[in-house]
């Protein structure tokens, strides 16, 4: 089974094969995690992304990573046209991101807290959906050996820590 860890820090600082960014259907990278990735890795990431737009909510596309120390950026469309996130869209976006990771042969991938910023999705519920969906996708992703949930701040770190504990307890048959 893949190693899963939670990391409190800037996703742009990680050295993994792929990082996931929350995206809207137009793939413009102006705010939040996407804006930070564009600022750190360069405009070429956004230029490569918008050439693939429009993209339906729940889908994901891959671009080069510009000057970042990763191989690829996976743009997971977790925001609908109103820039909101739903549970179904979040789950589909995570599944699509994992599918793109498989396609590029990624051995390591980092996810932020998708949908919890601009998307306004509740952090605790988003963490549970993201963690459970990633764990559900791992058996179909044999090349992925390392997953990092890259989070900013204590609230996100705690939400993902709790979600990972719950997921681990569920998979081992232990009740909390």
Global pTM reads 0.94
Please state which of the ranges 7-16, 76-85, 165-174 shows the lowest mean pLDDT. Answer: 165-174
Q: Which residue is listed with tokens 């996976």? A: 74
- Domain edges within the chain: 3-172
What is d(CA 93, CA 86) in angstroms, rounded to the nearest whole number?
Answer: 10
Q: Using an 8 Å Cβ cutoff, are 86 and 80 in contact? A: yes
Q: How far apart are CA 69 and CA 75, in angstroms?
A: 17
CATH of domain 3-172: 3.40.220.10
Binned at pLDDT 50, 70 and 90, residue 174 comes out as: very low
List, in sequence order, every residue forming a beta bridge with 76; answer none if it has no partner: 22, 60
Decide if pLDDT at 12 tops 50: yes
Q: 60: which strand partners?
A: 76
Q: Is the pLDDT of residue 172 over 70?
A: no
Report pLDDT digits (tens) over 96-152: 999 999 999 999 999 999 988 878 899 999 999 999 999 999 999 999 999 999 999
Contact 12, 38 (CB under 8 A): no
Mean pLDDT within 18-39 = 94
Angle subtended at Cα 66 by Cα 60 and Cα 76, rounded to the nearest 5 degrees: 15
**pLDDT band of 69, cuts 50, 70, 90:** very high
How many other CB atoms sit within 10 Å of the CB of residue 50?
16
- Mean residue pLDDT of the chain comes to 93
């Amino acid at each position: 089974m893949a190693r899963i860890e939670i990391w409190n820090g800037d996703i742009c600082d990680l050295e993994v094969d792929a990082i996931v960014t929350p995206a809207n259907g137009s793939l413009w990278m102006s705010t939040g995690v996407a804006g930070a990735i564009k600022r750190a890795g360069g405009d070429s990431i956004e230029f490569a992304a918008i050439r693939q737009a429009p993209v339906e909510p729940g889908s994901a596309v891959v671009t080069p990573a510009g000057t970042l120390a990763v191989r690829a950026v996976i743009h997971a469309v977790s925001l609908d046209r109103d820039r909101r996130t739903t549970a179904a869209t979040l789950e589909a976006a995570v599944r699509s991101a994992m599918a793109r990771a498989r396609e590029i042969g990624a051995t390591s991938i980092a996810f932020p807290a998708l949908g919890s910023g601009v998307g306004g999705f509740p952090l605790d519920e988003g963490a549970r959906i993201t963690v459970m969906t990633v764990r559900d996708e791992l058996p179909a992703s044999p090349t992925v050996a390392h997953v990092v949930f890259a989070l900013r701040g204590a609230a996100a770190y705690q939400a993902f820590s709790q979600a990972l504990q719950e997921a681990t307890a569920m998979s081992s048959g232990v009740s909390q």
